[in-house]
Amino acid sequence: MASFPLVSATGMLGSGFRAESLDKAISLGARMIGCDAGSTDPGPGPLATGTCMFSAAAVKRDTEIMMTRAVKAGIPLIMGSAGTSGSDAGLAWMVDIVHQIAREQDLHFKLAVIHSELSREVVRRHLRDGRARALPPSAPLTDADIDAATHIVGMMGVEPIQEALKLGAQIVVAGRSSDTSIFAALPLLEGYAPAVVWHMAKILECGAAAVAVRTAPDCMMAVLHEDSFDVFPLREDYHCTPQSVASHTLYENADPFELKEPSGTLRTNDARYEAISDRAVRVSGSEFVHDPEYTIKLEGVRRVGYSTILMGGVRDPYILAQMDSWLAQLDDNIRTRIRSTIGDRPYEIVTRVYGRDGVMGVLEPQRGSVGGHEAFILWDVISEAQELSRSIATSVSHLAVHNPIPKWHGLISGVAFPYSPPEIDRGPVYEFHLNHVLAPASPTALFRTEYEEL
Amino acid sequence: MATLGDLAKLVRSKNAGPFWLTIDIMFDDAEAYRRARDAEIVNRAAIARLYNRNPADIIVVNHDTALAIKVSFPRPQSSGSKLDSDVYGGQQYAPLLGLEVPG
């Protein structure tokens, strides 16, 4: 019976894995190496600024091991969501690393680079044509959302990667890709069943995350069969159990039984997980339901303003006991002072009180009081310009230090600042604001691929 | 009475994309899992109360093979936005730890 072995180098390119684990996968006949390089987990920063969450040195180390093995073995290497966000800047940064390695290691191959950054005009056209849909909990897409976006990427499915493989690319560096598409593209081309392939891809995308006890990131291997797949780690001291593999469907999903892909939904309700050795698990029984409409998920960021922060601590028990009223009074004083200095230019001050509800904010069930003997306060001043935020922050720090409480008579010094000056400029700050999908003319229509012989 | 924190092998919270938060309550033995599951202490009304959310927005799923109970709901603000204090969503599970599990 036909089978298809493949390996995931690690859960996140740049987080590391053992070279000998990948070598072992190759010796076991792996027919491709895949690696996810991106995520929205680190927040809007990477997409907004085009920077990777890992250093070039870390990414280069992992990439070099994968490239040398793939080229020597003559198998494809597929890396998705390059540079964390998959934006054009992140992709260019990753391609530069691939070029360096090819030059230094004298590696020769056909490279495909798949762009996923979308222009505002392309997204606007889809909106106009009724091809944009909101995902819960967001409101429908508007022109204003699109105009405000500084960067937008579309999350590709398997099709652009498959096209590159069909055209002979051995190394594929893709912009934003669904984590699973990286591992599903080639097996689907080879004719393996979608339900088996997508479920395998979901388990492999995080590397060794689906083992029972993971002490460090590493490779994970799967072998596809006609109606099941086997999954196992390469490190001898790691092992998978039915529970550890099943648990991985929980990871970073809202619903572990319904995993949405551009072309449909993987349903794992009836999946069976069976130990076939003390380290390997066989998975079968999932179902893949094709959706009537093929959709591409968007990720987009907009600039909220420029931020200057202030950090300070409070130890006075009388201030701690009346933190809310003390802050309300401070807020009043700040408003009054700022109106007389800068007038009516809009600004916002976000105040986080660690020791009260700094970590959870509105989700904190115990909000409303400071629990311990000290509190940490983080003030974040956000406005349309850095100089304005800084100017406001200098008033905040001065007013905060001397903000009185009824207990003490005379000028107090109520905040401990660890730094001088206490104001720290953070530059532009961003937020994710697109939670929408587009229904493109075809699965490859939004993605542009460049080829290069190295 | 034992709490969820006593019985679980891992309770964690995480983003499920920038707009959702998800909490996994995982057990390492089937008996503890069934005890927590069958007590139905993790339900939409309880989560809504603890986290000050709308019950209609909350998903609670029991995963018998994974020995896990999963809770998901929309974030009050997207990950890393100006009002957010937990970019990875990693420290939002604590209120569940004290839930008492009868039996």
Task: Say yes or no: A274 and A367 in one domain.
Answer: no
- A141 in a domain, yes or no? no
Task: Say yes or no: A282 and A325 in one domain.
Answer: no
- A127 in a domain, yes or no? no
Task: Say yes or no: A315 and A237 in one domain.
Answer: no
Structure confidence at residue A1 (pLDDT): 61
Write the CATH number for A347.
3.30.70.600
Residues of B in Cβ contact (< 8 Å) with A435? 17-19, 78
Structure confidence at residue A371 (pLDDT): 87
Tell me the pLDDT of chain A (454 aa) as tens digits: 689 999 999 999 999 999 999 999 999 999 999 999 999 999 999 999 999 999 999 999 999 999 999 999 999 999 999 999 999 999 999 999 999 999 999 999 999 999 999 999 999 999 999 999 999 889 999 999 999 999 999 999 999 999 999 999 999 999 999 999 999 999 999 999 999 999 999 999 999 999 999 999 999 999 999 999 999 999 999 999 999 999 998 888 888 899 999 999 999 999 999 999 999 999 999 999 999 999 999 999 999 999 999 999 999 999 999 999 999 999 999 999 999 998 999 999 999 999 999 999 999 998 878 989 999 999 999 999 999 999 999 999 999 999 999 999 999 999 999 999 999 999 999 999 999 999 999 999 999 999 999 9
- How many domains does one find in chain A? 2
Q: Provide residues of B within 8 Å CB-CB of chain A.
A: 14-20, 22, 24, 26, 28, 50-53, 57, 59, 61, 63, 65-68, 70, 72, 74, 76, 78-88, 91-92, 94-95
Residues of B in Cβ contact (< 8 Å) with A362? 52, 76
> Which of B15, B76, B94 lies at the smallest CB-CB distance from A41?
B15
Task: Say yes or no: A356 and A261 in one domain.
Answer: no
- A402 in a domain, yes or no? yes
Any CB–CB contact under 8 A between A376 and chain B?
Answer: no
Residue of A nearest to B98 (CA): A365
Task: Say yes or no: A402 and A360 in one domain.
Answer: yes
Residues of B in Cβ contact (< 8 Å) with A382? 82
Given the structure tokens 């309770």, which residue do they identify? B11
Task: Say yes or no: A48 and A89 in one domain.
Answer: yes
B-facing residues of A in 242-261 (CB < 8 A) are 242-243, 246-247, 249-257
Residues of A in Cβ contact (< 8 Å) with B52? 362-363, 365
Residue by residue, DSSP assigns B11-32 as EEEEESSTTEEEEEEE-SSHHH
Range of the domain at A317: 303-432
Which of the residues A39, A53, A244, A253 would you substitute to probe the B interface, choosing the one with the greatest number of B C-beta atoms within 10 Å? A253
Q: Where are the alpha helices (DSSP H) in A28-55?
A: 45-49
Structure confidence at residue A252 (pLDDT): 81
Structure confidence at residue A369 (pLDDT): 84
Query: Closest by alpha carbon to A298, among A60, A122, A428?
Result: A122
Task: Say yes or no: A256 and A309 in one domain.
Answer: no
Task: Say yes or no: A31 and A176 in one domain.
Answer: yes
- A122 in a domain, yes or no? no
Task: Say yes or no: A313 and A266 in one domain.
Answer: no
- A92 in a domain, yes or no? yes
Residues of A in Cβ contact (< 8 Å) with B92? 359-360, 363
pTM: predicted TM-score of the whole model, two decimal places = 0.95
Task: Say yes or no: A79 and A200 in one domain.
Answer: yes
- The CA–CA distances, whole Å, from A399 to A148, A404, A453 equal 34, 9, 63
Given the structure tokens 């927590």, which residue do they identify? B36
Determine whether A454 is exposed, middle or buried from the number of CB atoms within 10 Å of its CB (0-12, 13-18, 19+).
middle
Task: Say yes or no: A38 and A67 in one domain.
Answer: yes
Structure confidence at residue A161 (pLDDT): 98
> Which of A45, A252, A364 lies at the smallest CB-CB distance from B80?
A45
DSSP state of A274: E
CB within 8 Å: B82 and A431: yes
Residues of B in Cβ contact (< 8 Å) with A380? 82
Structure confidence at residue A272 (pLDDT): 97
Task: Say yes or no: A223 and A370 in one domain.
Answer: no
Any CB–CB contact under 8 A between A382 and chain B?
Answer: yes
Chains A & B: contacts with CB separation below 8 Å: 134
Any CB–CB contact under 8 A between A274 and chain B?
Answer: no
Q: Do the Cβ atoms of A194 and A267 come closer than 8 Å?
A: no
Q: From the CA of A16, how many Å to the nearest CA of chain B? A: 20
Query: Closest by alpha carbon to A101, among A67, A70, A133, A76?
Result: A67
CB within 8 Å: A363 and B92: yes
